[in-house]
Amino acid sequence: MAVQAQADILDGAHRLKYVRDFLVGLENCQTQCAFFDFCRGAQAANRYFENGSLTTTETNYCRVSRQALVTALSTLATTEKEPAA
């Protein structure tokens, strides 16, 4: 087996199906999800093990740890607080 330099491996990464699928998934997240600016869609293992594909977008992990957090903080920030008595 020939040893490849790391730079050569990275240069050829786009030819690997799982890398292409991951990039499609990132693009899908970016175009379809309102929470992308927060999470950046990079939880590949969660996509694969929860949905069986790297091209999918939303996962349970995303809903619970990213979307719920942003929604709660947004709600808290926009809720008017009663002045202290």
Domains contained in the chain, number: 1
Tell me if 21 sits within 8 A of 54, measured CB to CB: yes
DSSP label of 56: -
Residue 6 covered by a domain = no
Distance separating alpha carbons of residues 7 and 14, to the nearest angstrom: 13
- Burial status of residue 36 (CB atoms within 10 A of its CB: 0-12, 13-18, 19 or more): middle
For residue 84, the model assigns a pLDDT of 63
Residue 65 covered by a domain = yes
31: containing domain: 11-73
Confidence of residue 81 (pLDDT cuts 50, 70, 90): low
What's the pLDDT tens digit per position in 26-47?
A: 999 999 999 999 989 889 999 9
For residue 57, the model assigns a pLDDT of 92
Confidence of residue 13 (pLDDT cuts 50, 70, 90): confident
Residue 51 covered by a domain = yes
